[in-house]
Amino acid sequence: MPSARCCRRHYRCVSRDAAPFHLSDVTPPKKSSRKSSTKASPSSNTVAKPAKPLSARATKLAGPPKSALYDVRRSRIQGRGAFAVTNIRKGQRIDEYWGQRISHAEADRRYDKDEGRHHTFLFVLDEDVVLDARFGGNDARFINHSCDPNCETEIVRGHIYIKAIKPIAAGEELVYDYRFDWQDGYGPEDVRYYACRCGSTKCRGSIIMVPRYLKETVRAWLAGNDVRKPAKPSRAKKAANGATR
C-alpha cells in the first residue's frame, strides 16, 4: 500500500509540471431531496409563494467530518498540533487528510517562489494530484512532523489516511515523518528553514530527507557553519562504495 508524502518545499511546494488545472474540489454534500415549487396547491386556486432563500450559513458547503480521536491545540513542536483525546491502538485509522484536489501546475501557480515563503498544507496524492488543505481542509493538516513518529500516512483508493503505527495514549501528540524530498539546489538557508524541532532522541535535525553524502555537511549548516557543499557522487562511485562495504 503506497504511503503519501508532503510536498512542501522551500518557496515552491512542487516543481513537477502536470496537466492544466481541471480537477474537482472536495466532494460537496448531497443535494436535498426537497424542492421548492410554484405549482398551485390542489385545494386552492392561488399560486404558492416561492420558498425563501436559505441564509448564507445554511447554504455553505458542509465541511469535512471531524475526528473524535483528537483535538487541536498549541504544540511545543510547531504552532498548533493534534493531540489524542482517547487511547488509540496500533494500526487504527485516525483520520483522512482532506483538501482541494489540484494539479501540480496549479500548486506551483498558487505558491510561486516570487511571492515568498508560505504556510501551506500541500500533500502529494499521485503524479497528477495534490491536496491543498488550505482550501476545504480538516484538522489533519495540523499534525506535526517528528523524526520518531507514532503515525504514518497511506493512500487507499485515491484518499490519504493517517494511521497509528504504535499505541498512542490520550494526551499524546500525533506526529508523522514528513520526509520532505531533498532538492539539489538546497543550501544552508533552506536547510535551516526546515530545521526539525521535534525534540526526539532520534531527531535527524531536519524535516528533509538528507542524502547520505551530505549528512555531515547538513549537520554543519544546522550548526551555523556554511561549509561548501561537496559534489554529488556519480552512480559508478556509489556502486563502488556499496561494493566495498
Q: Name the CATH code of domain 1-24+64-179 (choices 3.40.800.10, 1.10.10.10, 3.90.650.10, 2.170.270.10).
A: 2.170.270.10
The answer to whether the beta carbons of residues 17 and 107 sit under 8 Å apart is: no
Half-sphere exposure of 196 (CA within 13 A, CB side): 27
User: For every one of its 245 residues, what pLDDT tens digit does the chain have, with 9 covering 90 and above?
Assistant: 555 555 543 222 332 222 222 333 333 333 333 333 333 333 334 444 444 454 444 434 567 889 999 999 999 998 999 999 999 999 999 999 999 999 999 998 888 764 545 567 889 989 999 999 999 999 999 999 999 999 999 999 999 999 999 999 999 999 999 999 899 999 999 999 899 989 999 999 999 999 999 999 999 999 999 999 999 888 655 555 555 45
Look at the alpha carbons of 203, 205, 207, 211 in this order and tell me if their dihedral is positive or negative. Answer: negative
Beta strand pairing status for 129-132 and 5-6? unpaired
Q: What three-state secondary structure class fits 188?
A: helix
Question: DSSP letters of 4-28?
Answer: PEE---SS-S-----SPS----SPP
Half-sphere exposure of 40 (CA within 13 A, CB side): 5
